[in-house]
Amino acid sequence: MKHLLARRAAVAVFALATVAGLALSTAASAADRFITVASTTSTENSGLFKFLLPIFTKETGIEVRVIAQGTGQALKTGAKGDADVLFVHARAAEEKFIKDGFGVKRTPVMFNDFVIVGPEKDPAGVAGGKNVTDALKAIAAKGAAFASRGDDSGTHKAELKLWKAAGVDPKKGGSWYRETGSGMGATLNTANQMGAYALTDRATWIAFKNKKGMRIEVEGDKRLFNQYGVILVNPAKHPHVKKADGQAFIDWLTGGAGQKAISDFKLNGQQLFFPNAGDAGA
């Protein structure tokens, strides 16, 4: 009889604890004041948000929930109304997003640059180059392995633009061009493993921890400029969008405090992103 009672008590306590835990977790999320931001893997993986968001939340009391997706996916998420703000880096796609009525306005926030990384062995002989299209042509000519994100992200779109500028269609080349369909980090892991070249944004590269055997081969070309923009999802299309809090975030990011925080963010002593909200042409 005693065992029965003890067992039943244990089960009851366990069940109650679970239900309570579940209730608490969902109740807590309902009471919080928060916005949902769809952003890129580069901003997330570099650690920028981990640094930036607590400053914003402390100032405004608004929690920012970031979903790190590729730019293409982030734009679709915004179009479906599943995010309040987009923070991405593909200007042409962003402007189309606004034109199609899914976003209110695009504001530049910050920039960094892309670099071409590759194996220390450098089979295509492009190390130290300052011309990205020449480097890409050399890689294609040599048939050296190249890992592409292939996921419709901002980086992927930028990469395709560069191939076009170089006059090369990598998909027709052969098996040296490998599309991983994944985020930046996963693609870099794959590039490392395959001894391949890849296009990456500098911030992700600096933060990336699996660099053994790889290095930056090409940098500094003006065409490797990478601009980030922020957009409020159009409340006219999706009435539930948190207009006020979303705009507050955008205003903070592009205002004095946010811009300073962005330039304050350093990894290994290096600044990863450069604020340029005031740059109208960006």
Partner 1 sequence: MADGAFASALSMILTLDAEFVGIVGLSLRVTLAAVLIAAVIGMPLGALLAMYRFPGRGILIVVVNALMGLPPVVAGLIVYLTLSRSGPLGALGMLFTPTAMIVAQTILVLPIVIALTRQVVDELWSEYRDHLTSLGQTGIAAVPTLLFDARYPLGIALLAGFGRASAEVGAVMIVGGNIAHHTRMMTTAIALETSKGDLALALGLGIVLLCLTFSINVVVYGASRVGRQMAG
Min CB(80)–partner 1 separation in Å:
4
When asked if residue 15 is in the footprint of partner 1 (CB under 8 A), the reply is yes
Residue 226 CA to residue 111 CA, distance in Å, equals 5
When asked if residue 2 is in the footprint of partner 1 (CB under 8 A), the reply is no
**Which stretch, 59-67, 101-109, 114-122, 154-162, contacts partner 1 (CB under 8 A)?**
59-67
The single residue among 103, 150, 154, 183 that binds partner 1, judged by CB under 8 A, is 183
Give the helix ranges, DSSP H, for the chain.
2-31, 41-45, 48-60, 71-79, 91-99, 132-142, 154-166, 170-173, 184-194, 202-207, 243-254, 256-264
- Tokens linked to 196: 């391949």
The single residue among 8, 33, 50, 266 that binds partner 1, judged by CB under 8 A, is 50
When asked if residue 137 is in the footprint of partner 1 (CB under 8 A), the reply is no
Min CB(123)–partner 1 separation in Å:
22
Q: 131, exposed or middle or buried, with CB in 10 Å at 0-12, 13-18, 19+?
A: middle
- Tokens linked to 1: 């009889």
Length of the chain: 282
Nearer to partner 1 (CB atom), residue 69 or residue 227: 69
- Tokens linked to 155: 């980086």
When asked if residue 82 is in the footprint of partner 1 (CB under 8 A), the reply is yes
When asked if residue 60 is in the footprint of partner 1 (CB under 8 A), the reply is no
- Tokens linked to 105: 């306005």
When asked if residue 188 is in the footprint of partner 1 (CB under 8 A), the reply is yes
Q: Strand pairing partners for 214? A: 119
Give the footprint of partner 1 on residues 217-256 (CB under 8 A).
Answer: 238, 240
- Tokens linked to 139: 């890689």
Residue 85 CA to residue 261 CA, distance in Å, equals 19
The single residue among 211, 215, 260, 266 that binds partner 1, judged by CB under 8 A, is 211
- Tokens linked to 131: 């011309």
The single residue among 8, 9, 13, 21 that binds partner 1, judged by CB under 8 A, is 21
The single residue among 2, 99, 172, 209 that binds partner 1, judged by CB under 8 A, is 209
Q: Which residues bind partner 1 (CB under 8 A)?
A: 3, 7, 15, 18, 21-22, 25-26, 29, 36, 41, 45, 49-50, 65-68, 80-82, 182-186, 188-189, 207-211, 238, 240
